[in-house]
Structure 1
Amino acid sequence: MTVVQQILYTAQPERWWTLAEALGFVAPFPPAPEWAEFHADGVLAVHGATDEHRPGVTEIHLIVEDTDAAASALAAFDVEAMTMEGVGEMLVVRAASGVSISVSEGAVQRGAGEIAVQPIWFQKDLTQPRAILEALGFRAGIAADRGGWTEMLCDGGSIGLHAGEPRIGLSFEARGDLDARAARLRDAGFAASVVDEAFARTIRIADPDGGDEIWINGVQDDMHGYHR
Structure 2
Amino acid sequence: MLRVRPVHFTSRTGAWKQLLTALGMVQTEDDGGWQVFDSASGRLALHGAEAGSAQDGRTVFGVEVGDVAEFARRTNLSALEEGSREEPQEDGPRPAELVSADHGDACRISAPDGFSFLADKASHTAQCADADPALAVVAVWYTPDPEGAVRTLLHVGARPRPVPDNDETADFTAKNGGVLLVRSASGPSRSGLGFEYDGGLEPLQERLTAAGFPASVTEEAFGSTLHVANPDAGSPNAPATVWISQRRPMG
CA distance in structure 2 between the partners assigned to 1:28 and 1:21 by the alignment: 12
CA distance in structure 2 between the partners assigned to 1:205 and 1:8 by the alignment: 17
Q: TM-score, normalised by structure 2?
A: 0.81
Pick the structure with greater CA Rg: 2
1:91 aligned counterpart, secondary structure: strand
Q: Amino acid of the residue matched to residue 78 of structure 1? A: P
Alignment correspondent of 2:212: 189
CA distance in structure 2 between the partners assigned to 1:89 and 1:109 by the alignment: 21
2:90 is aligned with 1:89: no
**How big is each residue's C-alpha offset from its partner over 1:56-88, in whole Å with a ceiling of 9 and x where there is no partner?**
2111221112212211123244333222243x2
CA distance in structure 2 between the partners assigned to 1:111 and 1:141 by the alignment: 24
Q: CA deviation at 1:175?
A: 1.5
Q: CA deviation at 1:46?
A: 1.0
1:101-112 equivalence runs, <5 A: 101-106=117-122, 107-110=124-127
> Runs ≥4 in structure 1, deviation > 4 angstroms?
50-53
Distance change (3 Å), C-alpha of 1:69 and 1:37: same
Q: Among 208, 217, 221, which residue is 2:245 paired with?
A: 217
Q: Given that residues 3 and 111 in structure 1 are in contact (C-alpha distance below 8 angstroms), is that contact kept between their aligned partners in structure 2?
A: no
1:16-31 equivalence runs, <5 A: 16-29=16-29, 31=30
1:1-228 equivalence runs, <5 A: 1-29=1-29, 31-40=30-39, 41-49=41-49, 54-75=55-76, 76=79, 77-86=94-103, 88-106=104-122, 107-110=124-127, 113-143=133-163, 145-154=165-174, 155-165=176-186, 166-210=189-233, 211-212=238-239, 213-221=241-249
Distance change (3 Å), C-alpha of 1:128 and 1:73: farther
Q: TM-score, normalised by structure 1?
A: 0.88
CA distance in structure 2 between the partners assigned to 1:143 and 1:125 by the alignment: 18
- Identify the range of structure 1 (106-115 vs 159-168) with the bigger mean alpha-carbon deviation: 106-115
CA distance in structure 1 between the partners assigned to 2:179 and 2:166 by the alignment: 21
Q: CA deviation at 1:158?
A: 1.1
Q: Name stretches of at least 5 consecutive residues in structure 2 with no aligned partner.
A: 80-93
1:74 aligned counterpart, secondary structure: helix
Q: CA deviation at 1:147?
A: 3.8
**How big is each residue's C-alpha offset from its partner over 1:173-214, in whole Å with a ceiling of 9 and x where there is no partner?**
012231110111111111211111111111101111113121
2:112 aligned counterpart, secondary structure: coil
How many percent identity over aligned positions? 29
Q: Name stretches of at least 5 consecutive residues in structure 1 with no aligned partner.
A: none
CA distance in structure 2 between the partners assigned to 1:36 and 1:191 by the alignment: 24
1:171 aligned counterpart, secondary structure: strand
Q: CA deviation at 1:28?
A: 1.6
Q: CA deviation at 1:137?
A: 1.6
